[in-house]
Amino acid sequence: EAGVVQSPRYKIIEKKQPVAFWCNPISGHNTLYWYLQNLGQGPELLIRYENEEAVDDSQLPKDRFSAERLKGVDSTLKIQPAELGDSAVYLCASSPGLAGEREQFFGPGTRLTVL
């Protein structure tokens, strides 16, 4: 079974540029999460989707960050414009849904560097 797929794996951009990250969750997983992981820290939740609905986006900085999961499968996280402090690893995770809510399977992440 394929795991959570993320692309790109690495991205280097200049500040004020836009950037987008893509996530394909494990097939059949209804719940999708985007996390931010700063160097030396644990992941912090940005947004959680149940199917196509964003059910928890309280930690998402909505002035510059946006996310979508239009068909309840793949998801895109966007930053516009990027700032120096956005340099971090952006992790996507998925879980089966209510029945399997306890285990989240993580993708390899996208490492963003903002210059």
Partner 1 sequence: GQQLNQSPQSMFIQEGEDVSMNCTSSSIFNTWLWYKQDPGEGPVLLIALYKAGELTSNGRLTAQFGITRKDSFLNISASIPSDVGIYFCAGQLGRGSARQLTFGSGTQLTVLP
Q: Which spans of this chain sit near partner 1 (rule: CB under 8 A)? A: 4, 9, 40-45, 48, 55-56, 58, 91, 93, 101-109, 111
CB of 57 to partner 1, least distance (A): 10
CB of 4 to partner 1, least distance (A): 7
Q: Would you call 92 exposed, middle or buried from its count of C-beta atoms within 10 A (0-12, 13-18, 19+)?
A: buried
Identify which of residues 67 and 109 has a Cβ nearer to partner 1 in the complex: 109
Identify which of residues 8 and 18 has a Cβ nearer to partner 1 in the complex: 8
Identify which of residues 14 and 101 has a Cβ nearer to partner 1 in the complex: 101
Tell me the pairing of strands 105-106 and 110-114. Answer: unpaired
Token pair, residue 31, equals: 């719940």
CB of 104 to partner 1, least distance (A): 7
Identify which of residues 23 and 82 has a Cβ nearer to partner 1 in the complex: 23
Residue 22: CB partners within 8 Å, gap ≥ 6? Answer: 6, 7, 74, 75, 76
Cα–Cα nearest to 110, from 11, 3, 5 = 11
